[in-house]
Chains A and B, each alone.
Chain A
Amino acid sequence: MPASSKPLPFPPAERRDFLGLLAASTGAVGAAALAWPMLDSMNPAKDVLALASIEVDLSPMEVGQSITVKWRGKPVFIRYRSEEEIQQAERTDWQSLRDPQSDAERVKNSAFIVVVGICTHLGCVPLGQKDTSERGAYGGWFCPCHGSYYDGSGRARQGPAPKNLVVPPYDFIDDTTIRIG
């Protein structure tokens, strides 16, 4: 290009430009349509979703005992609470908690607390299922990873956990058997 000549101004938009844009956007839609199946293939598969319910017989449990069952690859804590523990959970001033929930909202039968044993902070399994393990100041569970404390109703009381321990969907199918999921 000679040094004196000015750069040409952009030509005005034409029908040909529109066709070009149309072709490019069709290609983009096509690429997105292919990207979705690829991404969605990484989501939980049907066989994973199918393994989603278990039944647990609570009749052998004694007062004060805790058991852990596996549901969807996660531990579920079931604790047969003593009268004293129930009283304590119900008397808590729950409106002031970080994730306010009454004990009644979190149980089907107040003797049994059923929660997913996954700390709501970063997913560790809290301690407290054994009689000898540390339960923290609130008598529920204690997560040693980053120091979260839960009470006897599985509610977050202290430490970084933002939410209460999750109550899984479950039902009593008779007096002593529950189905989780």
Chain B
Amino acid sequence: MSKNPPPLFRNPVVRWLDERLPLFSMLRKEYIDYPTPRNVNYFWSFGAIATLMLLLMIATGLMLAMQYTPHVDMAFSSVQRIMRDVNYGWLLRTIHMNGASMFFFAVYIHLYRGMYYGSYKKPRELLWILGVLIFLLMMATAFTGYVLPWGQMSYWAATVITNLFSAIPWIGEDIVQFLWGGFSVDNPTLNRFFVLHFLLPFVIVAVVVLHVAALHVPGSNNPDGIEVKSKRDTLPFHPYITSKDSLALIVFGIGYAVIVFYAPNYLNHPDNAIPANPLSTPEHIVPEWYFLPFYAILRAIPNKLLGVIALFGGVAILFFLPFLDRSKVRSCRYRPLYRWFLWLFVVDAVFLGWLGSKPAEEPYILWARLATAYYFGFFLVITPVLGIVERPRPLPVSISEPVLKTASRPRAS
């Protein structure tokens, strides 16, 4: 640190505060000056979108929690009361309920962005792992939240998902009773799920802080996947990236608003409008769309324990991606083979999602098995092998080089 840093802030109050607790300096460094590669595209906006979704979910969730009653006799009607009697309750709940879908949508694109442009590779492995951890925490939060309205789908989702742990040999049954606090999903379960659903988002906030801190050590990746070489390669975060992210956020928000105001129940299941009944399972139970690919993996495997292992493995394998991919080239722009296998992986994941929404019968089971084989084959075979055998295309010298070349062309003619 230099002896006399120049006073960054003209306002004497801000300066007084900042000399004692350098919050303003920190925010300025990380959110105004932060040098961002000048070639980032709109895929890079989904991190900001996801962050704002998290904050929106916490804000609306706090308001809903003030009206909700976590008791088996009152939960369902307290949600109906929110929808009918509480001022703007319908709006808060619709924003919150569909917000989960929008949050997952943003995070799935964010995750795919990381895969396509190799953002998980050295030196950003830990950044990626923290991101997968956030994804895992989001799944737990979404699941516990889905149980709270205590409709039929809520109840049976809670039953099926907690029963996944009964597949663990020897101690599985005890673990499930521990999770339930009883012999079935009941009041103790609902009560603790409410507490967890309230707690976990703040844990996510903490991991997001670590995620951003880990991002700001090496800086953002970019569509070329090459290192920043000089100041010409970057732009300050504000106003360049903030304005770009704002536009992305507005477009995203329009789509979100269309769902909230015109199709608030499109992603919902009619069965969840029936109060929970422990004696009758709905004919066709499916999870929310964002869990469908993993649900299809579970059902593709005819053995209970192996099915559960595959389900969790489908998420856990993401943690190991930085170590499975040995290719030095980050961006798929310069990986002519891997790019197609990655696109096929996206098609495969969407196909698995569609299969997860279908009943557990042929031909869907066979297709789900093939799609599951590709899902794991992509990570365990294709990624490591292509990292060795693929011949990548030549990388540009620097981020700014293609930009400046284009800019100088008219002058040259």
Give A residues with C-beta under 8 Å from B: 39, 42-45, 48, 68, 70, 72-75, 117-118, 120-127, 143-147, 159-162
> What's the least CB distance linking A130 to chain B, in Å?
10
B272 on the A face (CB < 8 A): no
Whether A48 lies near B188 (C-beta < 8 A) is: yes
Give Cα A72–Cα B278 distance, bound, in whole angstroms.
Answer: 11
Give Cα A10–Cα B37 distance, bound, in whole angstroms.
Answer: 45
- Identify the closest chain A residue to B164 (Cβ): A122
> What's the least CB distance linking B109 to chain A, in Å?
30
Whether A161 lies near B160 (C-beta < 8 A) is: no
Whether A124 lies near B160 (C-beta < 8 A) is: yes
Residues of chain A within 8 A (CB-CB) of B164 are 122
With most chain A CB atoms within 10 A of its CB, the pick from B162, B280, B281, B284 is B281
Whether A121 lies near B279 (C-beta < 8 A) is: no
Whether B184 lies near A72 (C-beta < 8 A) is: yes
Residues of chain B within 8 A (CB-CB) of A144 are 281, 283-284, 359-360
The answer, among B156, B298, B301, for a CB contact under 8 Å with A124, is B156
> What's the least CB distance linking A125 to chain B, in Å?
4
Give Cα A159–Cα B304 distance, bound, in whole angstroms.
Answer: 10
Known contacts: A124-B285, A160-B304. The answer to whether A44 contacts B183 by CB under 8 A is: yes
Q: Mark B117-145, 1 if CB is under 8 A from A, else 0.
A: 00000000000000000000000000000
- Identify the closest chain B residue to A148 (Cβ): B360
Whether A48 lies near B302 (C-beta < 8 A) is: no
Give Cα A125–Cα B177 distance, bound, in whole angstroms.
Answer: 18
B201 on the A face (CB < 8 A): no
Give Cα A43–Cα B167 distance, bound, in whole angstroms.
Answer: 19
Does more than half of chain A's interface fall in helix, strand or loop, or is it mixed? Answer: loop
> What's the least CB distance linking A149 to chain B, in Å?
12
Whether A45 lies near B188 (C-beta < 8 A) is: yes
A-B contact count (CB 8 A): 97
Whether A43 lies near B181 (C-beta < 8 A) is: yes
B240 on the A face (CB < 8 A): no
Q: Mark B8-42, 1 if CB is under 8 A from A, else 0.
A: 00000000000000000000000000000000000
Whether B178 lies near A42 (C-beta < 8 A) is: yes
Known contacts: A44-B182, A74-B184, A147-B361. The answer to whether A125 contacts B281 by CB under 8 A is: yes
8 nearest A-B pairs in the assembled complex, by CB-CB distance: A73-B184, A123-B163, A72-B183, A147-B360, A124-B281, A122-B163, A125-B281, A122-B160
Whether A160 lies near B163 (C-beta < 8 A) is: no
Residues of chain B within 8 A (CB-CB) of A44 are 177, 180-183, 188
> What's the least CB distance linking A129 to chain B, in Å?
9
Whether A123 lies near B159 (C-beta < 8 A) is: yes
Whether A124 lies near B159 (C-beta < 8 A) is: yes
Whether B188 lies near A145 (C-beta < 8 A) is: no
Beyond A124-B160, A145-B160: 11 further Cβ-contacts under 8 Å? A39-B178, A48-B183, A73-B183, A75-B279, A121-B163, A122-B304, A123-B160, A123-B162, A125-B281, A160-B301, A162-B304
- Identify the closest chain B residue to A162 (Cβ): B304
Give Cα A99–Cα B174 distance, bound, in whole angstroms.
Answer: 21
With most chain A CB atoms within 10 A of its CB, the pick from B166, B180, B183 is B183
Whether B160 lies near A74 (C-beta < 8 A) is: no
Give Cα A74–Cα B285 distance, bound, in whole angstroms.
Answer: 18
Give Cα A175–Cα B367 distance, bound, in whole angstroms.
Answer: 52
B333 on the A face (CB < 8 A): no
Whether B279 lies near A125 (C-beta < 8 A) is: yes
Residues of chain A within 8 A (CB-CB) of B298 are 146
5 A-B residue pairs with Cβ-Cβ distance under 8 Å, sorted by A, are A42-B179, A72-B184, A120-B304, A159-B302, A160-B307
B326 on the A face (CB < 8 A): no
Residues of chain B within 8 A (CB-CB) of A43 are 177-178, 181
B299 on the A face (CB < 8 A): yes
> What's the least CB distance linking B356 to chain A, in Å?
11
Whether A48 lies near B305 (C-beta < 8 A) is: no
B233 on the A face (CB < 8 A): no
B192 on the A face (CB < 8 A): yes
Give Cα A75–Cα B164 distance, bound, in whole angstroms.
Answer: 19
Give Cα A125–Cα B184 distance, bound, in whole angstroms.
Answer: 12
B227 on the A face (CB < 8 A): no
> What's the least CB distance linking B27 to chain A, in Å?
35
Known contacts: A144-B284, A160-B304. The answer to whether A45 contacts B360 by CB under 8 A is: no
Give Cα A160–Cα B279 distance, bound, in whole angstroms.
Answer: 21
